[in-house]
Amino acid sequence: MTEHTESAALRVALAYHRAWTSGDVDAAMAYVADDGFVCRAPGGDLSGKEAFRDYLHGFVQVNTGLTDIAAFGDQEHALLFYCPHTATTTTAPAAEHFTIRGGRIAESTLVFDRLSFAPPQ
Site for a second copy, rule CB under 8 A: 2-3, 5, 40, 42-43, 69-70, 72-74, 77, 79, 81, 91-95, 97, 109, 111-116
Nearest to a second copy of 30, 111 (CB atom): 111
Q: Closest approach of Cβ 24 to a second copy, in Å?
A: 25
Q: Closest approach of Cβ 90 to a second copy, in Å?
A: 13
Adjacent-strand bridge partners of 112: 94
Nearest to a second copy of 27, 109 (CB atom): 109
Nearest to a second copy of 20, 98 (CB atom): 98
Nearest to a second copy of 26, 45 (CB atom): 45
Q: Closest approach of Cβ 41 to a second copy, in Å?
A: 9
∠ at Cα 71 (53, 58), nearest 5°? Answer: 20
Dist CA 7 CA 103 (whole Å): 12
Dist CA 91 CA 68 (whole Å): 11
Any idea what DSSP says for residue 37?
A: -
Cβ atoms 118, 26 nearer than 8 A: no
Q: Closest approach of Cβ 114 to a second copy, in Å?
A: 5
Adjacent-strand bridge partners of 65: 85
